[in-house]
């Protein structure tokens, strides 16, 4: 019997997810032993036409990382959906837009402005990327940038979700183990739509720091604090830590080394909008009752949308800035 096919693809992403998969060390050999890697551009050469030529549902599982930013991303999402039995939204980008999703706060023109005209960019001829460009050899094409970033499940049906930026390697290894067991007929697939490789609580559950009743009278950025106490809750020390509103599963990696959680594992189970949860929680414990005094505390969050929705903007209720959304077809 031939080995089942495995694919991994990167859309709008940084490549960190691929590295996280490689970080499972020798476990990657189990992958190779049990699967036929049919398509994995980061690891081996492959052409889209090869995938297009495959039979529908011929790939058992595709780990899809990255969000949908360009027409090319969308095409591959739809293509891989059609060719795969199991499509996994892998990593924060595919699930909720992640850092690239923050671009949803700006319309396309502003994004280009920033990328091609900022003071640090050398672009004397004010060149901009074109969807199609005539050269002596013929027409060169580039996939156009879409109005806003979408998550994988906003484009195609997704079977499982693996959160994290990137997903923790120990979690990936565990998922791989389950997958191999399933292939061997030793285990059942989890129910469709399940979130894999994460806990059911929030980061605080795994955080070793001591916590108390919370009252926030000042919020600072980490560089503004003279010294950080190594044992107490970071939020209580005035840092905007997203841990209370972020799904567990990372072993509280950042807070345990003194950096506030930035929320990469996404919302806790059952939560509709991660940013709103963090927003309401922080606002509730602000130690002020007068509008001006409240604002004084809240001014410690110079970029609220970016702070609360750092990873989940594209998957939030509002998804994007109104101007950016207006360009959506």
Partner 1 sequence: MTDNSKPESQERIGVYVCHCGTNIAGVVDVESVARFAAEDLKDRGVVLARDYTFMCSVAGQELIEQDIHEQQLTRVVVAACSPHLHEKTFRGVCERSGVNPYLSEMASIREHVAWVHTDKAAATAKAKAIVSGTVERVLKNDPLEAIRVPIDAQTLVVGGGIAGIQAALEVAEAGYEVVLVEREASLGGHMAQFDKTFPTLDCAACILTPKMAAAGSHPKIHLFTWSEVEKVEGFVGNYTVTVKKKPRYVDEDVCTGCGICVEKCPVLVVDDKFEAGIGYRKAIYWPFAQAVPNLPVLDPDTCTYYVGGKGGCKACEKFCPTVPNSIKFDQKEERVTLRVGNIVLATGWDLFDARRIPQYGYGRLPNVFTNLELERMCNAAGPTGGKVVMRDGKSTPETVGIVHCVGSRDRTYNRHCSAICCMQSLKTAHLVKERTGAEVYNFYIDIRTPGKEYDEFYQRVLDDGIHFVRGKVAEITDIPFDPAEASRNGAGTLYVQVEDTLAGMQRRIPVDMVVLSAGLEPRRDSAEVGKTFGIACSSNGWFIEKHAKMDPIATMTEGVFIAGCAAGPKDIPASVSQGSAAAARVLNYIRQGELALEPVRASVLAEQCSGCRLCNGLCPFNAISFDAARKVTEINAALCQGCGTCVAACPAGAIQGTGFSNAQLFAQIEGLLRDFSRVPEVV
Partner 2 sequence: MSDSTFEPVIIGFTCNWCSYRAADLAGTARIKYPPNVRLIRVMCSGRIDPTFVLKALSEGADGVLIAGCHPGECHYLEQNYKALRRHRLLQKTLAQFGIEPARVRLTWASAAEGALFAEEIAAMVNEVKALGPLNWPARPLPVATAPAEIPKLSEVAA
Exposure letters 191-222 (e unless 16+ CB within 10 A, then b): eeeebbbbbeebbbebbebeeeeeebeebeee
Contacting residue, 95, 202, 307, 316, with partner 1 by CB under 8 A: 202
Please report, for residues 115, 206, 234, the alpha-carbon distance to residue 213 in angstroms, rounded to integers and kept in the order given: 44, 18, 13
- Write the binding mask 276 to 305 for partner 1: x where contact by CB under 8 A, - elsewhere: -xx-xx--xx--------------------
Q: How many CA atoms, within 13 angstroms, populate the side-chain half-sphere of residue 244? A: 19
Q: Rounded to whole angstroms, how far apart are CA atoms 184 and 178? A: 10
Q: Are 238 and 285 in contact (CB under 8 A)?
A: no
Instruction: Tell whether residue 194 is a contact of partner 1 (CB under 8 A).
Output: no
Site for partner 1 in 237-256 (CB under 8 A): 243-245, 248
Instruction: Tell whether residue 322 is a contact of partner 2 (CB under 8 A).
Output: yes
Span interacting with partner 2, options 108-116, 194-202, 206-214, 275-283, rule CB under 8 A: 275-283
**Please, what is the end-to-end C-alpha distance for the chain in angstroms?**
46
Rounded least distance, CB 68 to partner 1, Å: 22
Instruction: Identify the CA nearest to 86 among candidates 214, 175, 202, 217.
Output: 175
Instruction: Tell whether residue 202 is a contact of partner 2 (CB under 8 A).
Output: no
Q: Rounded to whole angstroms, how far apart are CA atoms 216 and 324? A: 34
Instruction: Tell whether residue 231 is a contact of partner 1 (CB under 8 A).
Output: no
Q: Rounded to whole angstroms, how far apart are CA atoms 135 and 250? A: 49
Q: Choose the one of partner 2, partner 1, none that binds residue 267, judging by a C-beta under 5 to 8 angstroms depending on kind.
A: partner 1
Instruction: Tell whether residue 191 is a contact of partner 1 (CB under 8 A).
Output: no
- Write the binding mask 48 to 67 for partner 2: x where contact by CB under 8 A, - elsewhere: x---x---------------
Q: Categorise residue 193: left if φ over 0, alpha if ψ from -120 to 50, beta otherwise.
A: left
- Write the binding mask 78 to 107 for partner 2: x where contact by CB under 8 A, - elsewhere: xx-xx----------------------x--
Rounded least distance, CB 177 to partner 2, Å: 28
Instruction: Tell whether residue 30 is a contact of partner 2 (CB under 8 A).
Output: no
Instruction: Tell whether residue 205 is a contact of partner 1 (CB under 8 A).
Output: yes
Site for partner 2 in 284-303 (CB under 8 A): 284, 286, 288-289, 291, 294-295, 298, 301, 303
Rounded least distance, CB 259 to partner 2, Å: 23
Contacting residue, 158, 172, 204, 234, with partner 2 by CB under 8 A: 158
Instruction: Tell whether residue 116 is a contact of partner 2 (CB under 8 A).
Output: no
Neighbours of 57 (CB within 10 A): 12
- Measured from the CB atom, the residue of 31 and 60 that comes closer to partner 2 is 60
- Measured from the CB atom, the residue of 63 and 76 that comes closer to partner 2 is 76
Q: For binding to partner 1 (CB under 8 A), which residues are involved?
A: 200-205, 207, 211-215, 233, 235, 243-245, 248, 267-272, 277-278, 280-281, 284-285
């Amino acid at each position: 019997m031939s080995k089942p096919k495995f694919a991994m693809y990167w859309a709008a992403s940084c490549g960190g997810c691929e590295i996280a998969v490689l970080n499972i060390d020798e476990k990657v050999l189990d992958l190779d032993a049990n699967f036929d890697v049919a398509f994995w551009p980061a690891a081996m050469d492959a052409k889209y036409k090869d995938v297009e030529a495959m039979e529908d549902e011929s790939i058992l599982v595709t780990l899809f990382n990255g969000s949908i930013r360009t027409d090319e991303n969308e095409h591959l999402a739809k293509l891989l959906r059609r060719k795969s039995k199991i499509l996994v939204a892998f990593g924060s980008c595919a699930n909720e837009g992640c850092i690239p999703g923050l671009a949803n706060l700006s319309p396309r023109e502003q994004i280009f402005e920033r990328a091609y005209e900022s003071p640090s960019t050398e672009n004397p001829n004010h060149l901009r990327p074109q969807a199609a460009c005539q050269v002596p050899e013929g027409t060169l094409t580039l996939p156009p940038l879409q109005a806003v970033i979408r998550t994988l499940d906003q484009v195609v049906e997704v079977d499982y979700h693996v959160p994290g930026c990137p997903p923790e390697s120990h979690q990936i290894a565990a998922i791989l183990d389950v997958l191999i067991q399933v292939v061997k007929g030793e285990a059942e697939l989890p129910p469709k739509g399940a979130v894999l490789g994460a806990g059911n609580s929030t980061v605080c559950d795994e955080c070793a720091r001591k916590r108390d009743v919370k009252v926030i009278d000042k919020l600072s950025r980490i560089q503004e604090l003279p010294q950080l106490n190594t044992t107490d809750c970071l939020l209580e020390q005035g840092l905007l830590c997203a841990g209370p509103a972020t799904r567990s599963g990372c072993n509280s990696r950042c807070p345990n080394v003194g950096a506030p959680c930035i929320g990469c594992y996404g919302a806790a189970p059952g939560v509709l909008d991660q940013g709103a949860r963090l927003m309401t929680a922080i606002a509730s414990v602000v130690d002020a009752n007068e509008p001006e005094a409240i604002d004084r505390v809240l001014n410690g969050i110079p970029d609220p949308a970016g702070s609360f929705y750092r990873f989940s903007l594209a998957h939030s209720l509002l998804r994007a800035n109104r101007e950016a959304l207006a360009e959506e077809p």
